[in-house]
Amino acid sequence: MQTRASLALSASLLAIPFMLLAQTPLLTSQASSATKMSPKSQTSEAVQKSAIVIDTHADTPQRFVDENFDLGDPLNGGNFNLETARKGNLGAEFFSIWVDPVPNKGHFARRTLILIDSVKQQVARHPDQMMFVTSPEGIELAHREHKLAALMGIEGGHSIEDSLALLRDYYALGVRYMTLTWANSNGWADSSGDVDDTSVPHTKEGLTEFGKDVVYEMNRLGMMVDISHVSDRTFYRTLVITRAPVIASHSSARALCDAPRNMTDDMLRAVANSGGPNSKGGVVQVNFYSGFLSQSYRDAQKAIKPEMDKAVQELKDKYKAEGKDAPDAEISKLQRQFADRIPRPPLSVLIDHIDHIAKVAGVDHVGLGSDFDGVSGQLPEGLDSPADLPTITAALMGRGYSAEDCRKILGGNLLRVFREVEQVSKELQAESRPRIAEKQPFDKPQK
Ligand SMILES: [Zn+2]
315, 330 contact by CB (below 8 A): yes
C-alpha 262 to ligand 1 mean position (Å): 11
CA of 285 to the centre of ligand 1 (A): 12
Q: What local confidence, expressed as pLDDT, does residue 441 receive?
A: 41
In this predicted structure, what is the pLDDT of residue 331? 87
pLDDT at 332: 83
Instruction: State mean pLDDT over 269-279.
Output: 94
Q: What confidence score (pLDDT) does residue 438 get?
A: 37
> 3-state class of 57 per DSSP?
strand
Q: Cβ distance 56 to 154 under 8 Å?
A: no
pLDDT of residue 146: 97
Q: Taking the CB of residue 317, how many other CB atoms lie within 10 A of it?
A: 10
Give the number of C-alpha atoms closer than 13 A to the C-alpha of residue 138, restricted to the C-beta side. Answer: 18
Can you give the pTM of this predicted structure? 0.87
E strand or H helix that includes residue 130:
strand 130-132
Q: What is the mean pLDDT of residues 343-359?
A: 98
Ligand 1 center from residue 193 Cα (angstroms): 10
Question: How many Å lie between the centroid of ligand 1 and the Cα of residue 355?
Answer: 22
User: Distance of CA 386 to CAs 58, 129, 369, Å?
Assistant: 10, 15, 11
| CA-to-CA dists, residue 52 to 188, 368, 374, angstroms | 35, 12, 23
Centre of ligand 1 from the C-alpha of residue 70, in Å: 22
For residue 342, the one-letter residue type is: I
- pLDDT beyond 90 at 347: yes
Mean pLDDT of 72-83: 96
Q: How far is the CA of 157 from the centre of ligand 1 (A)?
A: 12
Q: What pLDDT is attached to residue 21? A: 36
How remote is the CA of residue 342 from the centroid of ligand 1, in Å? 21
Distance (Å) from CA 25 to ligand 1 centroid: 40
The Å distance, Cα 310 to ligand 1 centre, comes to 26
pLDDT of 446 reads: 42
Q: Is the pLDDT of residue 24 over 90?
A: no
pLDDT, tens only, 78-129: 999 999 999 999 999 999 999 999 999 999 999 999 999 999 999 999 999 9
Is residue 256 a contact partner of residue 297, using CB atoms and an 8 Å limit?
no
Give the tens place of pLDDT for each residue, 224-234: 999 999 999 99
- Name the H helices within 222-366: 232-241, 265-272, 290-293, 295-321, 328-339, 348-360
Residue range 187-208: mean pLDDT, rounded: 95
The answer to whether 272 and 247 are in contact (CB under 8 A) is no
Residue 289 Cα to ligand 1 middle (Å): 10
Cα-to-centroid distance, 60 and ligand 1 (Å): 12
* Least confident among 31-45, 76-90, 230-244: 31-45
